[in-house]
Structure 1
Amino acid sequence: MPVLHTLRRAAAVLLLAAATLYAAPARPAAADEPGWTAEPATGAAATAVRPYFYLAGAPGTVLEDRLALANTTDQERTITLRGADAYNTADGAFAVRPATPGAGATGATGAAGAGSWISFGAATTVKVPPRTRAVVPFTLTVPPASPPGDHPAAVIATEGGREVGVRVHLRVGGPTLAALTVEDVAVRGRGAAAVIAYTLVNRGNVALTPELRIRAEALVGEPAGPPRGRTLPIELLPGQRVELTEPWPGAPALDRVRVTLTVTAPGGARAVATGSRWLVPWSLAGWTGGGLLGLGATTAAALYLVRGRRPEPGPAPAPDGPSAAGPTPPTPHHELTGAAR
């Protein structure tokens, strides 16, 4: 009986603990959890989630869309909204202009960009109640004199030092041009650390997803080439310049190499550029340099010794014989006159 009583008591304790855990309120979100999200709003009939905004229109038109803000915490959130221009960083990443006077409304060339065309009206600051999803409309007004092509931008939501950006792909109607150039091709480093460095420049008015092909040649033998062809993991925006590198672990240790880069992109964009370099190991370069310096020093010392042993010139010796007294006087000439005796 005591054993049965003990088992019943233990079961009662476990049931009480389970009931307590079930009735306990949900734990608040941790301090490092965002607690809110921002994304393109979907319509009532839409089922797929949009990863970004895509807008298109002619110059002078006003485009409309909606941003969805979801507060997943038990606290009210105050979120500030703005538009921003987009650009490529030096390594090709997508970035937006900071919210500073003059910076948020200007593009890479100093002119007003598509970020300044976005307006939330009176809803630039939105209070989102706990456990609530708010939909905020905004407009994008395309200026009448806007050039055709892609104008990258983003919608930025800020709260408590945290920023969430949603990309805006805007295409203004008109002729489009896909064009790019490859510049500053160079081989850097040696051995397994060798890389092929180059610069891509978007010369057209549409965003490009470039594909790169590399051909490597050597003065002696056939080098183990870098990756032959691949699509670069960047979106090259109009008018932007990015500096990229491709690893070349199979580069020759001692040879003269020549690399040819061919870059293409949808729309007919194509560019070709080459670069060459002597690849010499550091140890061999050091020995060669030391040998040349030693040879130069030896040659200079030998020349110095030869000059040091050369006799100094003395006075010219006096000439012997009649010529010592000067030139021989000429024999006098006698003129004969009259008749012979």
Structure 2
Amino acid sequence: MPVLHTPALPAGRRPLTALLTAALLLGAAVGTAAATPATAAATAAHADEPGWTAEPAAGSAGPARPYFYLSGPAGTVLEDRLALTNSSDRERTVTLRGADAYNTADGALAVRPAEPPAAQGRGGTGRGAGSWISFGTATTVRIPPRTRAVVPFTVTLPPASPPGDHPAAVIAAEDGREAGVRVHLRVAGPTLAALTVEDVSVRGEGARAVVAYTLVNRGNVALVPELALRAEGLFGEVPGRTARALPMELLPGQRVSLTEPWPGAPVLDDVDLTLTVTAPGAAPATASTSAWFVPWGIAARTGAGLLGLGGVALAALLLVRRRRTRGGGPADEEPVPGGKRAPEHELTGASR
């Protein structure tokens, strides 16, 4: 399952929390292994083993394209061409297919693996935009040495396909190695840019503190979010994070769990934290949390010292009391010689 990565354009009660982090804009190709997500390039896709590449075919006079961009109303058929270049000294046999693109749980961009033939015969599970891509009879292409082959393909938009972005990719594979080229596909119609921030929390303390949060794209277009972090402590504003673009593309309907480093987190404070995420065309999304920051190591050592001092004081007090008890009377009382004890007075009520 190749992973397509490309660079992209960031007051409650009080523990500090929350802020953002990241995801991925894809541009064009991806080198990868077949069964699991793999990293990819932002330009023309290269196989893991040098020798062949896959990329959008350039127009008659146009520049090279990093990815495909196709748009049209539901029910239409769109066309484009894939260029396969064999720069090696041996013939290459490359198989081609379409695939759905999606965000992994941590925001990376990936594509669905190929389905087995049996699943394809039953209609399979690939009902996304990847299943709209067809190479016709050219699903297997033989490329002679030092040769460039241009393969046409079509994208058929179903009549009932909803408007908005439908992320997909074209995948070329040979001997278990794959290269993918991103397909930015949009069905014409009303678009909605909307996102929310959820599950904000703070982990760690001091320079190691991070803000964890969940970002959800609730619209029908891909978003490149920005995030900012503001914190207020007992003694005023605490250094947060200024607005910055997240290195990710959040696809429609996708949910990702991210973390944002917070090196300005205090060591000792009670803080209200507010995370704000924006994206072009979308209303700002905010979420708040609070957190106590206590240097537990110092507090534990201080507490142990105070406890030890209290124990010493208590032991000294008990020792003094024990000595007084064993001595009988007060220490400064003089003993009375035997036979000369003063007679006890008898209280009878009569004077003597």
Same fold (TM over 0.5): yes
Q: Which residue of 1 aligns with 2:252?
A: 238
Query: d(CA) in 2 for partners of 1:213 and 1:116?
Result: 38
More helix per residue: 1
SS of the residue aligned with 2:165? strand
SS of the residue aligned with 1:239? coil
Question: Is the Cα contact below 8 Å between 2:48 and 2:177 reproduced in 1?
Answer: no
Report matched runs for 1:187-336 at 5 Å.
187-225=202-240, 227-284=241-298, 286=300
Question: One-letter code of the match for 2:294?
Answer: V
- The Cα of 1:45 is off from its aligned counterpart by 2.0
Question: One-letter code of the match for 2:195?
Answer: L
Question: Is the Cα contact below 8 Å between 1:213 and 1:263 reproduced in 2?
Answer: yes
Distance 1:128 1:161, change over 3 A: same
Question: Is the Cα contact below 8 Å between 1:193 and 1:248 reproduced in 2?
Answer: yes
Query: d(CA) in 2 for partners of 1:143 and 1:291?
Result: 74
Q: Which residue of 1 aligns with 2:61?
A: 45
Distance 1:292 1:166, change over 3 A: farther
Bigger relative contact order (CA 8 A; separation at least 6) = 2
Please say which structure displays the higher CA radius of gyration.
1
Report matched runs for 1:13-52 at 5 Å.
33-46=49-62, 48-52=63-67
Runs of 4+ displaced beyond 6 Å: 102-105, 288-294
- The Cα of 1:267 is off from its aligned counterpart by 1.3
Aligned length: 259
* Cα deviation code 1:13-56 (max 9, x no counterpart): xxxxxxxxxxxxxxxxxx9742000000012222x110000000
Question: Is the Cα contact below 8 Å between 1:224 and 1:251 reproduced in 2?
Answer: yes
- The Cα of 1:241 is off from its aligned counterpart by 0.7
Distance 1:240 1:291, change over 3 A: farther
- The Cα of 1:223 is off from its aligned counterpart by 2.0
**Corresponding position: 1:90 with 2:136:** no
- Larger mean CA deviation between 278-287 and 72-81 belongs to 278-287
Question: Is the Cα contact below 8 Å between 1:70 and 1:133 reproduced in 2?
Answer: yes
* Cα deviation code 1:270-297 (max 9, x no counterpart): 2111111111123145458879999xxx
Query: d(CA) in 2 for partners of 1:100 and 1:200?
Result: 29
Distance 1:63 1:292, change over 3 A: farther
Question: Is the Cα contact below 8 Å between 2:91 and 2:143 reproduced in 1?
Answer: yes
Distance 1:111 1:38, change over 3 A: closer
Query: d(CA) in 2 for partners of 1:210 and 1:292?
Result: 50
Report matched runs for 1:153-168 at 5 Å.
153-168=168-183
Gaps of 5+ in 1: 1-30, 295-341
SS of the residue aligned with 1:115? helix
Q: Which residue of 2 aligns with 1:141?
A: 156
Distance 1:238 1:103, change over 3 A: farther
SS of the residue aligned with 1:245? strand
Query: d(CA) in 1 for partners of 2:298 and 2:276?
Result: 33
- The Cα of 1:155 is off from its aligned counterpart by 0.3
Q: Which residue of 2 aligns with 1:81?
A: 96
- The Cα of 1:102 is off from its aligned counterpart by 9.3
RMSD (Å), alpha carbons: 2.6
- The Cα of 1:152 is off from its aligned counterpart by 0.1
Question: Is the Cα contact below 8 Å between 1:104 and 1:116 reproduced in 2?
Answer: no
The equivalent position to 1:170 in structure 2, one of 149, 163, 185, is 185
Distance 1:151 1:290, change over 3 A: farther
